[in-house]
């Protein structure tokens, strides 16, 4: 049985998406695939059990028999951490992870392990990525999100420094069109010479990182003031309306498929946003807008959300989730699978895992 730990240097780099795309490809190639997320810092309740949302989605998508809480054996909530630090519970969490790994790998050819938000996670509870990977005899694949030319190199080499011989290579994700030549012609050859195999370069597609209006409603606990506007619209960017209407209109035209955050009393900003490509209005401070705004939003099928928080609190709440490739919409998952198949050298990755000669 082969074990592959997919991790990243920072949040929202495409780990879950890679687990899904690679898992489905392995299944299509005839391999029995298991999955485990050893450590999670994002508690999620399902059927009265604490689990990880990503683990539940992978379990469902790959058709695994295991239950979500079995696939996320250590989930750190505030209560868990408090009890752990006070020494009032079992401190050998590695034993729990090992037991879960043994169960998840039974009858499987490949076990995919998903890392946490970054390589920093896990030290407080003695489950850092390198130690978990070595204990479970896993190879490590790093998803590196393109940020800038030099940061791409530093992030990849930093991962290599931390993981050493465990790291079999990397996949560079979310590469914008204007950085493609740099990545292909300079960065990848440089990293290969430094001993880091690059299995692929996946282009940036803005819709994959977009949130649906429904996800914003759930995350912000927002009230929906429009009836006809759908909740499956995609939000690709955020804009704050805190300027004059004239300046706002010029700025709004630069950002398609956006959410505009503004006060409920800023009718001028709201109407300016509705003149451009806007997916939803997020009105802060529990201030209800003018009925005229609601009528126009209904006409343009733009959702209007009302939240109790102020503008800064609302921005901070959205920043915690935007950028994550939530693949609950079938079209988004299918698109990433296509990108993965097209831009990742699966044969080379299979050989690195000794799945192919």
User: Which residue do the tokens 């300027």 mark?
Assistant: 243
DSSP string, 38-54: -EESSEEEETTEEEEHH
Phi, psi of 280 (to 5 degrees): -155, 155
31/155 same-domain check: yes
Contact in structure between 26 and 356 (CB atoms under 8 Å): no
Cα diameter, the chain: 67
How far apart are the C-alpha atoms of 101 and 15, rounded to whole Å?
18
How far apart are the C-alpha atoms of 262 and 310, rounded to whole Å?
9
Number of domains, the chain: 2
Among residues 298, 299, 307, the alpha carbon closest in space to that of 227 is found at 298
User: Residue 87 burial (CB < 10 Å; 0-12/13-18/19+)?
Assistant: exposed
Q: Is residue 110 part of a domain?
A: yes
Q: Is residue 357 part of a domain?
A: no
pTM for this structure?
Answer: 0.81
32/163 same-domain check: yes
262/186 same-domain check: no
Q: Is residue 274 part of a domain?
A: yes
CATH number of the domain that 41 lies in? 3.40.50.300
Tokens of 91: 């401190």
158/189 same-domain check: yes
CA 70 from chain centre, in angstroms, equals 21
In degrees, rounded to 5, the angle at the alpha carbon of residue 323 between the alpha carbons of residues 318 and 328 is 95
Q: 274 by DSSP, 3-state: which?
A: helix
Per-residue pLDDT of the chain (357 residues; tens, 9 = 90+): 999 999 999 888 889 999 999 999 999 999 999 999 999 998 888 888 888 888 988 999 999 999 999 999 999 999 999 999 988 877 789 999 999 999 999 999 999 999 988 899 999 999 999 999 999 999 999 999 999 999 999 999 999 999 999 999 999 999 999 999 999 999 999 999 999 999 999 999 877 777 889 889 988 999 999 987 778 888 888 888 877 877 888 889 988 899 999 998 899 999 999 999 999 999 999 999 999 999 999 999 999 999 999 988 998 888 766 655 555 556 778 889 999 999 999 999 999 999 975
Give the residue numbers spanning the domain of 97: 2-204+327-352
């Amino acid at each position: 049985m082969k074990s592959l730990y997919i991790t990243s240097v920072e949040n929202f780099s495409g780990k879950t998406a890679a687990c899904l795309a690679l898992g489905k490809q392995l299944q299509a190639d005839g391999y029995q695939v298991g999955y485990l997320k050893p450590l999670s810092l994002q508690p999620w309740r399902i059927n009265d059990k604490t689990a990880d949302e990503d683990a539940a989605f992978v379990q469902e998508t790959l058709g695994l028999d295991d239950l979500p809480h079995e696939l996320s054996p250590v989930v750190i909530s505030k209560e868990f951490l408090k009890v752990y630090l006070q020494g009032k519970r079992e401190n050998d969490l590695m034993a729990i992870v090992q037991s879960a790994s043994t169960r998840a790998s039974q009858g499987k050819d490949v076990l995919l392990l998903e890392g946490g938000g970054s390589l920093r996670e896990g030290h407080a509870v003695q489950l850092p990525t390198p130690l978990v990977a070595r204990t479970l005899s896993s190879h490590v694949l790093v998803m590196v999100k393109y940020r800038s030319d030099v940061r791409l190199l530093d992030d990849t080499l930093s991962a290599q420094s931390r993981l050493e011989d465990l790291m079999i290579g990397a996949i560079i994700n979310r590469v914008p069109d204007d950085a493609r030549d740099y990545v292909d012609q300079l960065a990848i050859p440089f990293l290969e010479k430094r001993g880091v195999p690059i299995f692929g370069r996946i282009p940036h597609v803005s819709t994959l990182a977009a949130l649906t209006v429904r996800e914003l409603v759930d995350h912000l606990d927002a009230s929906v003031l429009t009836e006809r506007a759908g909740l499956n619209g995609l939000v690709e960017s955020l804009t704050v309306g805190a300027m004059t209407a004239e300046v706002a209109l010029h700025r709004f035209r630069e950002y398609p498929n956006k959410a505009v955050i503004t006060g409920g009393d800023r009718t001028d900003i709201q109407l300016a946003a509705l003149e451009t490509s806007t997916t939803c209005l997020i009105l802060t401070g529990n201030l209800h807008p003018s009925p005229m705004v609601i009528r126009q939003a209904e006409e343009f099928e733009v959702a209007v959300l009302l939240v109790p928080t102020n503008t800064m609190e609302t921005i901070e709440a959205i920043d915690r989730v935007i950028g994550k490739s939530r693949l609950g919409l079938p079209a988004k998952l299918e698109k990433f699978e296509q990108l993965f198949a097209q831009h990742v050298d699966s044969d080379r990755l299979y050989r690195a895992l000794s799945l192919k000669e």
